[in-house]
Amino acid sequence: MIIGVALMLLGVILPWLMVLQLVQSTFFLVFLSHACSVAGVILGFLGLVSIVRVGRK
């Protein structure tokens, strides 16, 4: 779950840096930030589901 949060933060920080023009926007960097955001949401969701499952048993 911590890795998911880190990926989601990276998926937010990278586009923010691109908007501020501190980092040059390239296709690879845009794709990487989107992939980090999606992977972070999926991993975070799976982490929460596993915590809820353990709590119910």
Cα–Cα distance for residue pair 24/17, rounded to 1 Å: 9
Q: Does some domain include residue 54?
A: yes
Q: Does some domain include residue 23?
A: no
Rounded mean pLDDT, 21-39: 92
Tell me which residue range forms the domain holding 50.
Answer: 1-14+32-57
Domain count, the chain: 1
Q: Does some domain include residue 20?
A: no
Q: Does some domain include residue 9?
A: yes
Rounded mean pLDDT, 21-47: 92
pTM of the model: 0.78
Q: Does some domain include residue 19?
A: no
Of all residues in the chain, what percent carry a pLDDT higher than 70?
98
Residue 1 has pLDDT above 70, yes or no: yes
DSSP per position, 4-52: HHHHHHHHHHHHHHHHTTSS---HHHHHHHHHHHHHHHHHHHHHHHHHH
Residue 6 has pLDDT above 80, yes or no: yes
Rounded mean pLDDT, 35-46: 91
